[in-house]
Structure 1
Amino acid sequence: MKRVILAGFLVFALSLASAAQKKKDVLVTIGKTPVTMDEFLRIYERNNSNIQDPENKKTAAEYLELFVNFKLKVLEAQSLGMDTLSAFRTELDGYRDELATPYLTNVSYNDKIVEETYQRMKKEVYASHLMISVPENAVPEDTLAAYQRVLEIRKEILGGLDFNEAASLYSQDPSAQTNKGELGWFTVFQMVYPFEEAAYSTPVGEVSSPVRTRFGYHLLKVHQTRDAGGEIHVAHIMKVYPQDATPEQKLSARQAADSIYALIEKGADFGTLASQVSDDQRSAANKGEMPWFSRSRMIPEFADPAFELLNDGDISKPVDSGFGFHIIKRLERRPVPEFGEVKREIEERIKRDGERSVKSRDVFVKQLRDEYDFTRNQQAVDDLLHSTVEWLQQDSLVLPDNPAPDPILFSFAGNNVTTRDWISHLKQMPPVLLKNDRSRLNQLFHEWENSKLLDYEDSQLERKHPEFRSLLQEYHDGILLFNISENKIWQKASSDSAGLARFYETNRQKYMWPERFKGAILQCVNNAVREEAEKYLESGVLASELQDLLRLGTGSITVTEGTWEKGADPVIDYYIWKGDKPENWNQETGFVNGELIAPEPKLLNEARGYHIADYQQYLEDNWVKELRKKYPVRINKKLMKKITNG
């Protein structure tokens, strides 16, 4: 909840950021803190440009007053040590992590991947593949053997062996025995990223080079490509037949579908028939409607005839999908969206796609290696990993605390990383992740090496990126402002019962009820009931007692009691304040009974919402006066005049 409140609160507060101070053109000094004219103007102009209503725009002088009050509160929060509290540091660190994320990746490369993904969305690929499986973290010998085997198979295919026959003979993908490696049509995000890369870059009719995925090594052959047809929304009526159906069973299903199609041609309602006779119970419950789908996400036996329907409302003849016969009605079709419509969705899917994200990160790390003159002592690394395997082969995890010698493993930006650093890293890892497997250790070392570079880059963001530094300062000051305002103003205004009561008594004339009507609205079933009700009321009977006294049964009279201001109820307005007669109001049988109440002060509980808001403002005004005494404010009037005069 605090995060939501803070987000809105920072619309003003966070914009009042502290920029790097300059020794010249100091517009205002708050305590000992100088603020330059450039800083103030930048913030003032940015905030005013975000205000659409001209009446709400502030003059420079008006804004300076708000700006100074903000700075005073932040200075006070810092003097109280609120910026040293662990809760504050944790919250600020969380915001920093979020802000740092786009700075720790290759933005231009990310943009390239997003654009590339969108272009692929507009194409579909029909391909076959074969695979020689090898674990992701296999030892180099096994990886090399799998790679060489794939090269041998590729040589056979290029020598004339049919690709699909090769898949049937050699592929270790279990499905190859039935589909001969055919994958059908697919598009972006439907295959693992390295496979997708190869599919979209291999020319039609050609065989790819070996492709490494986490499953093994692949060869793939692209048979066709086509423009993606967007998505289609259809309804269908289905008559199923068993998977091992006899010709007679298929014929029976076909005849049933033909009979239904004949009814549709004679004008029968498609949705009604789908609900009554379709064997697809899930869609039948919704008049045969299916979820939106693209060509590549539906079996071609169904997708092709669906996409061949030219117009909304067109209906296909019965088609055989291999599961049954379908009559398909096109409801709507939409093309591949424009880039701007799906850019955010693509970005989110890329973030969730580990292999794409890793590739982006690796590109960025390579840039860091170049920027920081990264060098590796490969011999020391090889010796270390060999020693690590020996350490992990022992019954219990025994890692030396002070290895001797302690050689440098790699260096960058003047930092030397040694064997001791590696051991310290291993000791922080859960033992279950540590295996005396050289391939696994190679991977761990590579990841650690990258993390050291990324951690260093993270530590340099404030120095390298002024806009990051300024934005983080905004969050720093905004959180402090929120926290000190909560402690000094908001909580106190809600919990200080004695102070609230005193403030109310001093200002009670400010919280007035307007003229009101207190009584009842009465609607009788006929004139006789009205006359009897009026007699009871004249004798002093309360309106709420009429139902029981009249003894005419439920509904003979309706009584609505309350207290109304002008404009609160049209019936009351009509009788008391000469408003328009409400539509459908029968004044022969309806009337009101009660009295006018002159304007009067609200009780404390009645005025509480307005009262607390005013009390908060009262506390804040007094607090700001105290802060201005504690931190004297000195304005450079000459510069302020220059700003005012433009």
Structure 2
Amino acid sequence: MPLRYLVTFLLITLILNVKAQSAQEGVLFFVDDNPVYTSEFLRVYNKNLDLVQDESQKDVDEYLTLFTNYKLKLKEARALGFHEKPSYKRELASYKKQLTKSFMTDAKVTDAMVEEAYERISYDVKAAHILVKVDANASAKDTLIAYNNILKLRNRTLNEGFEVVRKEVHNGQTVFGESLGYFSGFRMVYKFETAAFNTNVGEISKPFRTRFGYHIVHVLDKRKSRGERTVAHIMVAEKKVGALAEKPEVRIQDIYKKINQGEDFDVLAKQFSDDKSSASKGGVLKPFSSGQLGSQEFEDVAFGLKKVNDVSEPFKTKYGWHIAKLIAKKPIPEFKAIRPELEEKVKRDDRSKLIDEALYASLKTKYNIKKGQPALDYFESILNDDYYKRVWKLPGDFSENKPLVKIGKKQFLYKDFGHYLLKTQRIGVQRTSIRLIVLSRYDDFLNYHLIKYQEDNLETENEEFAHIINEYRDGLLLFDLMEKTIWNAAKTDSIGIQDFYKVHKSKYILPQRIDAIVASSSKQKILKKVAKLLDQGMALDQIKRLVNSKDKVEVMFTSGIMDAEHQALPKSFQFKKGISKIYNHNGAFVIVQVKDVLQKTNQTLEEAKGIVISDYQTFKEENWLKDLGNKYKIKINQEALNKIKNQIKK
């Protein structure tokens, strides 16, 4: 067949194949000649449906606009060669490596380990232990000596008492005798944790080995976990902006006195707490368990509160001064809720070794790897004492091209394992039989290549993995493109930003504000007295000394520049100079002395720069997308779109 006819035939075949695929999968739209399939659109739409906050984006047409814009940007990124950048390739490879780990596990074994971990975090164990140190790679002789020593110590503890022996033998070098207090799951190495949880209270475990040496553990107590707490707090920050300049420890003590006077905790939190995220909720924080907070001091106080509605004394953390109130107590979260977190911990813990062993076994089954390896007799015959000295070499007549083992479609030869033996002799090995060395090295060789083959082929063997990688691949391209084309360009385009600000200057306005003092009290008559004193021009410190006593706080002040949304101001408050009437606000009474009213004014470019740059970026992106729409033509398959709408309605 002439060459020109052959080329024509191949082109026709290719076009027919593309059309067949399009018909089979359903093309939703084209970006120029690149098809985008309905299956991809539906998968992304359904995946993100629950995450979308803007209701308009749940509309198929609105979401399709977002999706086509997304594809336009990706088309441009590839046209500009962003996918060829070395930094892009490195980051994608790094992510792929990390993601692969999460897919390379045996699900059944992982499930069992996660369930066991949940059981263990549900309890705390109080224990002490004795450790005879011995290196993980110690010789058989040294290992036996360490084991015999721990066995003798265990016999002594049974006769003389654990604490007596523990204190006597501890030297901090070769033998450690330590009281460990209470601990839960994941606080110790897995083998130690297992021994502690499997030993009854009051008993001493049999000797067991970890990477540190041989242990015995004495279990003193087991208790249910402390679980979860919900607390409310009032916080006075160390550095306050726009409020009365007084020492935070003085202010927190004044608030504490008001609580003891019977005033509502949540009302005081709304008025005075500097934790803006919780103040409007009466100081209530999200529930937390041990180790979840960034402050051990706060956690200790919170778990120290015994009864619901108990209130702590003022205490200090790195964030400032606090008063805490116990709202609710809850045991360890339900297994289903905490399972993802536990699974991540299991995969990072010593438990992962058991999961790895299960994975090796499943991959051997998957790729039909037979038990036993006759070729190892040959390698045993060519290995000698030079291997211990790390100077061993392959013999001159080495049978390098003989088949060794086949994993999937990849055939490994004698030379592959031979070179692995050469390379790994640098690691060194304890003197043992040549046979054991060959068996150990072959297991390591086989396991490594089983994992590597599975990793290399995961994208073609696992659909979910392929989807995630593709999304990340596109996401990286999109980020690089947006950073270079829009974000960085907008930040550095000073002339463009100035011109944009001039055109939209009326949009950037500071609201009307007041320079004011807000006095708060639980009693109206107190505020009437305070109003007179303020009107007389008396200083705030003097008013406090006159109205408050050593044991009772009747009034508190907040001062500074405030807008209408400030938490201290009543919603109906009118901005005008002078002393206001008494308002009922947040469960207390307040008066406001307005020293000055600051009128609404335009922000300068410098004052509004952050939001101006953000708006300018949006402006640039909208115009850029119009240009991309002209550069790359979008052709929607209306029939396919209608099918999607009907499918979603059902």
What residue number does 2:457 align with? Answer: 460
| Matching residue within 349, 367, 370 for 2:365 | 370
Change (3 A) 1:493 1:26: same
Map Cα deviations across residues 46-69 of structure 1 (whole Å, 9 max, x no partner).
333333564x44321111111000
What residue number does 1:489 align with? Answer: 486
Change (3 A) 1:526 1:132: closer
Taking the aligned partners of 1:412 and 1:640, their CA distance within structure 2 comes to 44
Change (3 A) 1:89 1:402: farther
What residue number does 1:112 align with? Answer: 112
Report matched runs for 1:330-479 at 5 Å: 337=332, 340=335, 343=339, 346-347=342-343, 350-354=346-350, 356-375=351-370, 378-385=373-380, 387-393=382-388, 396=391, 398=393, 403-425=398-420, 431-433=426-428, 438=434, 439=436, 442-479=439-476
Superposition TM-score, scaled by structure 2 size: 0.56
Report matched runs for 1:496-515 at 5 Å: 496-505=493-502, 507-511=503-507, 513=509
Report matched runs for 1:124-163 at 5 Å: none
Question: Is 1:137–1:440's contact at 8 Å kept on the other side of the alignment?
Answer: no
Change (3 A) 1:524 1:431: farther
Question: Is 1:134–1:216's contact at 8 Å kept on the other side of the alignment?
Answer: yes
What residue number does 2:92 align with? Answer: 92
2:48 maps to a residue whose letter is: N
What residue number does 1:50 align with? Answer: 51
Change (3 A) 1:448 1:524: farther
Report matched runs for 1:143-292 at 5 Å: 164=155, 228=223, 230=225
Taking the aligned partners of 1:216 and 1:225, their CA distance within structure 2 comes to 22
Change (3 A) 1:402 1:35: farther
Taking the aligned partners of 2:563 and 2:644, their CA distance within structure 1 comes to 49
Question: What is the SS of the residue equivalent to 2:58?
Answer: coil
Question: Is 2:580–2:592's contact at 8 Å kept on the other side of the alignment?
Answer: no
What residue number does 1:635 align with? Answer: 636
What residue number does 1:159 align with? Answer: none
Map Cα deviations across residues 226-281 of structure 1 (whole Å, 9 max, x no partner).
9755569xxxxxxxxxxxxxxxxxxxxxxxxxxxxxxxxxxxxxxxxxxxxxxxxx
2:49 maps to a residue whose letter is: N
Change (3 A) 1:383 1:215: farther
Change (3 A) 1:226 1:410: farther
Taking the aligned partners of 2:95 and 2:211, their CA distance within structure 1 comes to 34
Question: What is the SS of the residue equivalent to 1:605?
Answer: coil
Taking the aligned partners of 1:119 and 1:345, their CA distance within structure 2 comes to 14
1:575 aligns with 2:577: yes
Shift of 1:194: 6.0
What residue number does 1:83 align with? Answer: 83
Map Cα deviations across residues 595-642 of structure 1 (whole Å, 9 max, x no partner).
x68x66x54434423332232122212221222222210011233344
Shift of 1:189: 6.6
Question: Is 2:581–2:591's contact at 8 Å kept on the other side of the alignment?
Answer: no
Report matched runs for 1:553-564 at 5 Å: none
Question: Is 1:130–1:167's contact at 8 Å kept on the other side of the alignment?
Answer: no
Question: Is 1:211–1:217's contact at 8 Å kept on the other side of the alignment?
Answer: yes
1:611 maps to a residue whose letter is: V
Change (3 A) 1:81 1:403: farther
Question: Is 1:380–1:408's contact at 8 Å kept on the other side of the alignment?
Answer: no
Map Cα deviations across residues 263-313 of structure 1 (whole Å, 9 max, x no partner).
xxxxxxxxxxxxxxxxxxxxxxxxxxxxx9xxxxxxxxxxxxxxxxxx99x
Runs of at least 5 residues in structure 2 that lack an aligned partner in the other structure: 1-20, 160-164, 171-176, 228-289, 291-305, 308-328, 518-530, 539-558, 584-589
Taking the aligned partners of 2:205 and 2:430, their CA distance within structure 1 comes to 35
Taking the aligned partners of 2:608 and 2:26, their CA distance within structure 1 comes to 48
Larger Rg: 1
1:616 aligns with 2:617: yes
Change (3 A) 1:122 1:479: closer
Taking the aligned partners of 1:122 and 1:128, their CA distance within structure 2 comes to 20
Change (3 A) 1:345 1:620: closer
Question: What is the SS of the residue equivalent to 2:455?
Answer: helix
Question: Is 2:400–2:413's contact at 8 Å kept on the other side of the alignment?
Answer: no
Taking the aligned partners of 1:212 and 1:230, their CA distance within structure 2 comes to 27
Shift of 1:470: 0.6
Question: What is the SS of the residue equivalent to 2:28?
Answer: strand
Shift of 1:98: 2.6
Taking the aligned partners of 1:395 and 1:24, their CA distance within structure 2 comes to 59
Shift of 1:28: 0.8
Taking the aligned partners of 1:619 and 1:421, their CA distance within structure 2 comes to 56
Shift of 1:427: 5.9
Determine what percentage of the aligned residue pairs are the same residue. Answer: 29
Question: What is the SS of the residue equivalent to 1:574?
Answer: coil
Question: Is 1:372–1:413's contact at 8 Å kept on the other side of the alignment?
Answer: yes
Change (3 A) 1:383 1:130: farther
What residue number does 2:41 align with? Answer: 40
Shift of 1:114: 2.2
Taking the aligned partners of 2:183 and 2:592, their CA distance within structure 1 comes to 66
Superposition TM-score, scaled by structure 1 size: 0.56
Runs of at least 5 residues in structure 1 that lack an aligned partner in the other structure: 1-19, 155-162, 169-173, 233-291, 293-310, 313-333, 531-559
Question: Is 2:139–2:430's contact at 8 Å kept on the other side of the alignment?
Answer: no
1:488 maps to a residue whose letter is: T
Taking the aligned partners of 1:58 and 1:67, their CA distance within structure 2 comes to 12
Taking the aligned partners of 1:520 and 1:363, their CA distance within structure 2 comes to 69
Question: What is the SS of the residue equivalent to 1:27?
Answer: strand
Taking the aligned partners of 1:584 and 1:126, their CA distance within structure 2 comes to 56
Shift of 1:129: 12
Map Cα deviations across residues 428-476 of structure 1 (whole Å, 9 max, x no partner).
6593546775456643432222111111111222122211111111111
Change (3 A) 1:372 1:399: same
Taking the aligned partners of 1:71 and 1:387, their CA distance within structure 2 comes to 59
Question: Is 1:121–1:336's contact at 8 Å kept on the other side of the alignment?
Answer: no
Paired residues in the alignment total 471
Question: What is the SS of the residue equivalent to 1:362?
Answer: helix
What residue number does 1:296 align with? Answer: none
Change (3 A) 1:374 1:528: closer
Question: Is 1:134–1:215's contact at 8 Å kept on the other side of the alignment?
Answer: yes
Greater Cα offset, 31-40 or 486-495 = 31-40
Taking the aligned partners of 1:513 and 1:188, their CA distance within structure 2 comes to 55
Shift of 1:409: 3.3
Question: Is 1:400–1:423's contact at 8 Å kept on the other side of the alignment?
Answer: no
Taking the aligned partners of 1:113 and 1:191, their CA distance within structure 2 comes to 15
Question: What is the SS of the residue equivalent to 2:46?
Answer: helix
Taking the aligned partners of 1:449 and 1:389, their CA distance within structure 2 comes to 22
Shift of 1:400: 7.1
1:34 maps to a residue whose letter is: P
Question: Is 1:118–1:339's contact at 8 Å kept on the other side of the alignment?
Answer: no
What residue number does 1:535 align with? Answer: none
What residue number does 1:71 align with? Answer: 71
